[in-house]
Amino acid sequence: MVKVLIVSIIFAVLALADAQSTWENYKAKHGKHYANNTEHAKRQAIFQATHDHISQHNVRYAAGKETYEKGHNFFSDLTQEEKNSYMGIRMNQTAQVVRSGGARNWERASLPASYDLRTSPCLPAIKPSQGGCGDCYTFAATTPLEYQYCMKTGVKVVLSEQQLTDCTYASPRDGCTGGWYHDCWTYVMQAGQELIEYYPWKAATKSATCSYSSNSVRVGVSSFSYVDQCEPTIQSRVVSNGPISVAIWASNNFTSYKSGIYTDSSCPTDMKTVNHAVTIVGYGTSGSTPYWIVRNSWGSSSWGLSGYMLMQRGVNMCNIAAYAAYPTVL
């Protein structure tokens, strides 16, 4: 009996030491610093709960019972409210959604089996994380413009999301409390979008007074369209037009994504409920499972597949087909 008790104590001590080591490594990797011991204890408790959840999920993943792997990232010690601040899609309820027609039969028949714009020289590198500013919609609005301008002119550009964050919101909200890529393109049709070197990114700071200057505008928009709520049509538009802006529901599962094909049975399927804006930059199939290649705005070093994810295609996963849209560069 004593021997069993001693062994149990040893295992408990080793488990505690391993948990502490995991926590210390996490803080070092992600540059986490806390104001005082109370804050430190709070964050460690959140991290441990996240760690337990990730570990349990990954046991199922290793057994073939989950389609994707989870991992620690910058979100692992954040509260749900703090995670929510990294979302920010807020549909303009007064905007009329005019959809382009569905893909014609010959278009569908001619689609390549896979398509990946990550290899295109016209797709800019993923930018630093939007931080705790809910302006994901500005990143989703900007990526198609950067790509299309490059394809049209042969010149790579890096445009200013900060301009859209500062200049497109409606008072009394500010641009960090959410918006819609539709409104960004409407604004760019009127004012144009500046290069980031003239209107620099301020990371997670709240949006400031709009300091737009027409003298440094590089890109304009002539029109934009919503895509028919049909995923083969979205495929067709990715191939013909480039990156497609979409709104999705990003849950706690989404924030812990590391690799694999993301599926989430907790996502709504009502073709309406969304909270985050991302961009589709391609598609493919792994085994018998089709997927989208999704570009996020949470940086390239901490989340997902260097800032991207694979999301199951063909089942309207997390309402990805609800509000697919794209602009046309002047």
* Residue 9: count of CB within 10 angstroms of its CB: 10
Q: Is 136 a catalytic residue?
A: yes
Measured in whole angstroms, the distance separating CA 155 from the mean position of its chain's CA atoms is: 25
Pairing of strands 325-329, 221-226: antiparallel
Catalytic residue among 241, 253, 296, 316: 296
Residue 231: name the closest of 103, 138, 141, 113 by CA: 103
Catalytic residue among 57, 72, 182, 276: 276
Distance CA 26, CA 94 (A): 44
Q: CA torsion sign, 289 to 320 to 151 to 106? A: positive
CB 178 within 8 A of CB 168: no
Three-state DSSP at 258 gives strand
3 state SS for 256-281:
CEEEEEECCCCCCCCCCCCCEEEEEE
CA of 1: how far to CAs of 8, 9, 85, in Å?
11, 12, 52
Q: Is 72 a catalytic residue?
A: no
Distance between start and end Cα atoms, the chain: 80
Tokens representing 83 are 């995670």
Catalytic residue among 122, 133, 136, 150: 136
What are φ and ψ of residue 247, in 5° steps?
Answer: -110, 140
Distance CA 49, CA 53 (A): 6
CB 282 within 8 A of CB 294: no
Residue with tokens 């480039």: 242
Tokens representing 8 are 């149990």
Distance CA 218, CA 114 (A): 32
Q: Is 176 a catalytic residue?
A: no
Which residues are catalytic, by number? 136, 276, 296
